[in-house]
Chain A
Amino acid sequence: MDQFTINLLFVGASFALYIGIAVWARAGSTSEFYAAGRGVHPVTNGMATAADWMSAASFISMAGLIAFTGYDNSTFLMGWTGGYVLLALLLAPYLRKFGKFTVSEFIGDRFYSPTARLVAVISLLVASLTYVIGQMTGVGVAFGRFLEVSNTAGLLIGACVVFAYAVFGGMKGVTYTQVAQYVVLIMAYTIPAVFISLQLTGNPIPGLGLFGTDVESGVPLLQKLDQIVAELGFNEYTAHHGDTFNMVLFTLSLMIGTAGLPHVIMRFFTVPRVADARWSAGWALVFIALLYLTAPAVGAMARLNITEQFWPNGTEGQAVSVETIETDPAYDWMATWQQTGLLGWEDKNGDGRIQYYNDASPEMQERAEAEGWAGNELTNFNRDILVLANPEIANLPSWVIGLVAAGGLAAALSTAAGLLLAISSAVSHDLMKGQLTPDISEKGELLSARIAMAVAIAVATYLGLNPPGFAAQTVALAFGLAAASIFPALMMGIFTKVNNKGAVAGMLSGLIVTLIYIFLHKGWFFIPDTNSFTDADPLLGTIKSTSFGAVGAMVNFAVAFTVSKMTTPIPAEIEELVESVRVPRGAGAAAADH
């Protein structure tokens, strides 16, 4: 059986499972559609949250970013997990106690202002939609590669699958589908890592193998990696090279953004009790940590494997020959990925060998001159292909490659579905029922939720075909916006007595200032060449546009407190609402109201 058939088999079987579960768990009432009747166990909820959270960015992209940058990209690891501490301590239990369905409902009620609710809905829609566009782009690339169809065809197939279970299943369908997706994606991520860790370090646990000893040379793995990459003129893997201030701000932005993204927060509305909401965040992080503790090992080991493949005789010896790349089955992955246009090499000096090194390094330029090299000949290695190509690079069995295909798609699809649900509830529940047509029937609300989902998929698919930028840029915008608008409003709603005007002014200024900073660096509405600055030379000091969410959040807090101090304090009944949200007692009754 060839690799294509095996991929098809694994992807097909996993999809049949997801759709089967969605049909089996079809939602009935509005309450079930949004929050699955609050009947979801914390462990189940944690697993679904993990699948929801870990998107194409975590699964496909993150280890590649770590592999080629090393220590400096630890920001992703800390940022995308540290946000769960903020969620668990500052938001989840109180929002569950509040007992409504959506984030903007809380903001509207707490700040007794339809305007506040509207601003929250707009922030949520913008953040979710940009995030889902990035996911759909990822869906297209992954489908295209593994089903060996064009990017466009891959994207359309993916859109149909997301539509099938998100629109017809609602939250309940999505919850159990996402449990299945979690199982598929975590197996797909860890199994190849276990194989590779055994090969390199003899340790079956990749997270431990990372700090273990390289079997071949007898020196610690990371020490060997540092040495090899340094000998080729690259930055030492474990050393710090970038700007420290930007590194702190970027980590903080990712953390706050995590705690401000609606599709994650919504999960905590679906547990039976306040006590369960506290546990749920912990369980979610347990399941996320299984991947996140493995990811740095995947990155480091892949970097080592790739470097050694190009320098089979050591970094001082001869580079790999073109003939070997074309004929040796161990190098088959290079031809496969070359077809996607994401990997490229060129024998510039015509010596029949491919020299992979950092041609910007002065020492390497000296060696290049002495040996007659004409620059780095591995001309293109897209970081996003690393995780998907990893099992092929390590010569793992075909079934592992098929499993990774299914896992990558599970990661992208589950997040897309969760975001679509957040979008549909923002439109039907907050915009339609909350603002435009308050006396809409339950049936009408459900219908508008489904129409909103279909429209969102159509828009995301269309923009996925003509993406405004790389997926990572789009995702960074989503995080920055959530961090700058939603998180501060929620936190102030629970922990302070900030009033309606303060909240609205804070959210608007945080949102707008962040949007403008991003547009100034990435182009207005992402139109190319309309940017005035670049992230290499940013407007404010060393703050890149991807790190600006944390600054936006601070602006939000500062404006909200100032405006609130100057205007009328909150009325007595809101004071009571704040007091009641702070204690778990009576949470069941609040939920039954709806």
Chain B
Amino acid sequence: MADQTSQGAHTAEGDKAYWSANVRIILISLVIWALVSFGFGILLRPLLSGIAVGGTDLGFWFAQQGSIIVFLALIFFYAWRMNKLDKEFGVEEE
């Protein structure tokens, strides 16, 4: 808390910019999250039916495995990106 008072208004504004950058990254990630699971895995599966994967189609693969792999990638991307963002805005932990 001590460093907040010493830097004053500058920090409050920086915090705001940091937060909107964070929200933007979250929104992009969630669009991908929904696209691979509800999209490719369920609703858009008929569109992907032409792409064959091991005896079935790409939509089946996304529903059973692909979405899980993308989920993993998303979480690690977010952790990496946010830990970098923390440093850019100087809000990381001591």
Which A residues have a C-beta under 8 Å from some C-beta of B? 71, 74, 77-78, 81-82, 84-85, 88-90, 93, 207, 210-212, 219-224, 226, 238, 240, 244, 247-248, 251-252, 273-275, 278-279, 281-282, 285-286, 289, 292-293, 296, 495, 579, 582-589
Contact = CB atoms under 8 A, between A and B. Distances in A.
Nearest to B74: A85
Given A81-B68, A88-B78, A289-B69, A223 B42 contact: no
A583 B72 contact: no
A417 B38 CA distance: 33
A25 B72 CA distance: 31
Contacts of A579: 12, 15
A318 B52 CA distance: 33
Interface in B6-33: 12, 15, 18-19, 22-23, 26, 29-30, 33
B54 A81 contact: no
Given A84-B71, A212-B54, A275 B83 contact: yes
Nearest to B94: A588
Interface residues of B, number: 47
A589 B1 CA distance: 9
Interface of B is mostly: helix
A584 B76 contact: no
Interface centre among B42, B53, B76, B86 (most CB of A within 10 A): B42
A240 B45 CA distance: 9
A257 to B, nearest CB: 15
Contacts of B78: 88-89, 278
B31 to A, nearest CB: 11
B47 interface: no
Contact of B68 (A274, A275, A279, A289): A289
B15 A77 contact: no
A289 B92 CA distance: 30
Contacts, number: 149
Interface of A is mostly: helix
A281 B71 CA distance: 11
B55 A279 contact: no
Interface in B78-94: 78-79, 82-83, 86, 90-94
Contact of A275 (B1, B69, B71, B86): B86
Nearest to A209: B54
A210 B54 CA distance: 8
Interface centre among A74, A88, A289, A583 (most CB of B within 10 A): A583
Given A211-B53, A285-B72, A82 B33 contact: yes
A285 B42 contact: no
Contacts of B4: 585-586
A582 B15 contact: yes
9 contacts: A85-B71, A210-B65, A212-B54, A220-B54, A278-B78, A279-B79, A282-B72, A286-B72, A582-B15
Contacts of B86: 275, 584
A89 B63 CA distance: 22
A289 B41 contact: no
A247 B45 CA distance: 13
Given A211-B54, A244-B42, A85 B93 contact: no
B57 to A, nearest CB: 8
B75 A285 contact: yes
